[in-house]
Amino acid sequence: MKGLKKKRRVQIILVAVAALALSTGLIGYAMRDGINFFRSPSQVVSAPPGEAEVFRIGGMVEPGSLQRGRGETIRFSVTDGNASVPVTFRGVLPDLFDENQSMVGTGRYVDGVFEASEILAKHDETYMPREVMEALQESGEWRGEGTPTAAGGS
C-alpha cells in the first residue's frame, strides 16, 4: 500500500512539472512578438539589428531634419548626440512631436532607415522617457537641469 501511494505521488509531481513547463513555454511563445528592446541611435549604428527584429529607438528629434512630404510619410532623424538614425513614419504624429524634443519609436531597421510603426512623444516640458534620458546622459548630450521626470520614475 505504501509503495502505491509513493508511486502515485511521484506521478502527480511529474505531471505538475510537465504542465508548468508546457504553460511557461506557451506563455513565452505568445509573448515573443510583444517584447521590444530599446536601443539608442549609437547602439543601432554600431550594431545594426536584423530587418525582421522589431525594437524601440529613442532620442531627440534632430533639429532641421523634420520633413513632411507629400502624402502621409514623415521623415526625420533621431539622435543621442553621438549618432543619428534616419526615421520614416506613415501616419499621424502626436501633437507634441517636434524638433529638438524627445521621442520613442517602435519599428524595424531596414536598409539604414528606421521604419517606425508607432511614435511616442513627450507629454510635458519635464518628461523624458527613462531610456532616452539614460542614452543622452551616457553620450554626454544631456542638457537638462537636474534629473527630469522619467516614465515610471519619480
Residue 113: which CATH number?
2.40.50.140
Region 74-97 average pLDDT: 89
Same domain, 106 and 69: yes
How far is C-alpha 7 from the chain's CA centre? 49
Q: Which domain holds residue 15?
A: 1-35
For residues 147 and 44, the model is more confident at: 44
pLDDT at 14: 95
Cell output for 47: 550594431
Same domain, 59 and 12: no
pLDDT at 154: 38
Same domain, 20 and 56: no
Region 107-123 average pLDDT: 88
Q: What digits encode the pLDDT tens for the residues 92-109?
A: 888 888 888 888 999 999
Q: Is 106 helix (H, G, I), strand (E, B) or coil?
A: strand
This prediction has a pTM of 0.62
The answer on pLDDT for 71 being more than 80 is no
Same domain, 16 and 26: yes
Contact between 47 and 85 (Cβ < 8 Å): no
Same domain, 16 and 88: no
pLDDT at 110: 92
pLDDT at 149: 44
pLDDT at 151: 44
Same domain, 133 and 88: yes
**Cβ count near 24 (within 10 Å):** 10
The answer on pLDDT for 73 being more than 90 is no
pLDDT at 142: 61
Cell output for 29: 511563445
Count of domains for the chain: 2
**Angstrom distance (rounded) from CA 29 to CA 26:** 5
Q: What digits encode the pLDDT tens for the residues 2-61?
A: 788 888 999 999 999 999 999 999 988 887 766 668 888 999 999 888 888 889 998 889
Model confidence band, residue 132 (pLDDT cutoffs 50, 70, 90): confident
Same domain, 19 and 4: yes
- Which helix (H) or strand (E) covers residue 109, if one does? strand 102-110
The answer on pLDDT for 148 being more than 70 is no
Same domain, 24 and 86: no
Q: Is 144 helix (H, G, I), strand (E, B) or coil?
A: coil
Same domain, 60 and 88: yes
Same domain, 91 and 145: yes
Same domain, 80 and 20: no
Same domain, 81 and 96: yes
**Angstrom distance (rounded) from CA 114 to CA 56:** 10
